[in-house]
Chain A
Amino acid sequence: MPPRRPRTFAFGVRLAQSGGLVGLGLGVAGILAVASIAAALALRGDPLVNQVPSLACQALAWGAGITVAFGAARRAASRDRDEGFFALARCRGVTPYAYVEARVVGLAALVAVAVGGGTALAGAAAALSSPSAGVFRATGGALAYALVFSATISPVAFASLAAGSTVTGYLALASLLVLPELASPWTSALLPAGWHELTSVPAALDAIRTGAGWHAARALAGLTALAAASLAILMGRTSSEPDP
């Protein structure tokens, strides 16, 4: 049997769970999930129930998911180095790249559980309340939104927040997520007609949720590029860390 590489998934998930803000985010996710279930049950027979999974996934993503990502990624690089987590991993064969991968995948998994889990519960409640093709379609789109949100926000949060101060990290994250959305009325004019999904992360995620053919494909490509650029920044930073 060929020798195995170090296993880092559990390590990444364990590190993603540390910090008060992460706990707060998970708590908010629980509250929002319960509220979504209650709303779905209250809207039994009402056509508005179709909207519950979509609204739930957006509230979970931008309320709970972003809090979890912010809490886990804030000054993560210096914390890992100072507290000995980086040395623990490196001394047991984890390469700098595998370390970045562990941190990013661990956070993405945690955000996916918080956002995707709550969305799945909301969708299930809506389907139980008023089973229809519209509800199933909305739930599928909402789950795709949750998963892509998790995969995108994790590397972006680490690239923005892991190094440097909390304030500069927050500003960097806001400039990536909020400013493009605010500027989208103007930036969309610069793009070919109908390419609005490339103006901001929220717009791209909406295109994936609605699952509209080329729009979703372009949105996915844009988010993949953003995640890849964030990973490249992280890899560059981590590879320059001295070996403990």
Chain B
Amino acid sequence: MITLDRVAARRSPMTLSDLSAQWGPGVHSIVGAPADGAALLFGLVCGASSPRSGQVRVLDGSPTDASVRRRVARIDFDPSLPEPLRVAEALSLAAKIRGDAGLEIGGRLAILGVETLAARFVRSLSLAEARAVCAAEALTSPGVRAIVVLEPLVAMDPRAARRIGDAMRSAARAGKCVLVASSSLRDAAELADDHALLQSGRIVARSSSIEALYGVSGQGVRLRVFARDDDGARTLAAGLAGIAELTSLERSGTSVRLRGASATALAEAVAHAAVASDVEVIEMRVEPIAAKQALAAEGGP
């Protein structure tokens, strides 16, 4: 359904180089920090950006072709809904453009538990609510065959966040290709069946197990751990100091950044330190290290 063949593209500050991948029906994740190029990759898939070289094929056609673009839905942080309309009107208009006839708006929103938003004006929605509406539109449109979602569990209405995983799997069972980009390994593991690790514009590893992606780059991995408050982060950092698996440790506000060879080992160390020092960890996320940073850290050019 989505094929990238030796694709190179650039949109400052992101660059993709020599990217080859293929995704069929199912839920697939791309794990990487925003600067690694997931948004640019999605722009290529949606036909909003063009590759400098290589070929992008979506649904057996060019992603810039109008008939292909109609069947691709994109959910990012800038929801494409007209502000003067009510949610129901906006969805109705979107359905007319996509050629989806006879869909009941309440039922479409109910798939993510946000049917109460139908009568609200789009301009009154929060970002999280607007993203939930866009997700419901994408996931329930019969014409849509490929869906790309940027950080599905970030800035997402809590009602929708609880249901979006099931909704995406349901879409995948219906033969759709759902591509998820996340900088959180936890989110990727929760939502997708297989994963690709994107680092500095290259897919450096693919696996159906998120565990297998830890440390595969050879550049190590950086883990960011969020505590509930500054004191918690300070205590956690103190508890982690001296752990053999760590190559670096820094604290900033409520978060602690760790670096080491294996994400699993780092996560275990965090768990031990959190239990030992009675600190509540809110979230842990992997932040892949860019090649230049890794080289610099290793004393390279």
Contact = CB atoms under 8 A, between A and B. Distances in A.
Interface of A: 2-8, 10-11, 14, 18, 83-85, 87-95, 98, 243-244
Interface of B: 46, 48-49, 59, 61, 66-74, 78, 80-84, 90, 93-94, 96-99, 122
Contacts of A18: 84
Given A18-B84, A244-B78, A244-B80, A88 B93 contact: yes
Contact of B66 (A11, A83, A84, A98): A98
The SS class assigned to the A binding surface is: loop
Residue in A2, A92, A243 with the greatest tally of chain B CB atoms within 10 Å: A92
Nearest to A92: B97
A4 B97 CA distance: 11
Contacts of A87: 78, 80
13 contacts: A3-B68, A4-B70, A6-B70, A7-B96, A84-B80, A91-B73, A92-B69, A92-B80, A92-B97, A93-B69, A94-B66, A98-B66, A243-B48
Residue in A2, A83, A93 with the greatest tally of chain B CB atoms within 10 Å: A93
Contact of B48 (A7, A83, A92, A244): A244
Given A6-B66, A10-B96, A88-B90, A93 B71 contact: yes
B82 A92 contact: no
Given A84-B83, A84-B122, A8 B66 contact: no
A14 B97 CA distance: 12
A93 B67 contact: yes
Nearest to B90: A88
A90 B70 CA distance: 9
Contacts of B82: 83-85, 88
A11 B97 contact: yes
A212 to B, nearest CB: 42
Contact of A6 (B48, B59, B74, B99): B99
A5 B66 contact: yes
Contacts of A93: 66-72, 97-98
B94 A88 contact: yes
A44 to B, nearest CB: 45
Given A3-B59, A6-B97, 6 more contacts: A84-B81, A93-B66, A93-B67, A93-B72, A93-B98, A243-B49
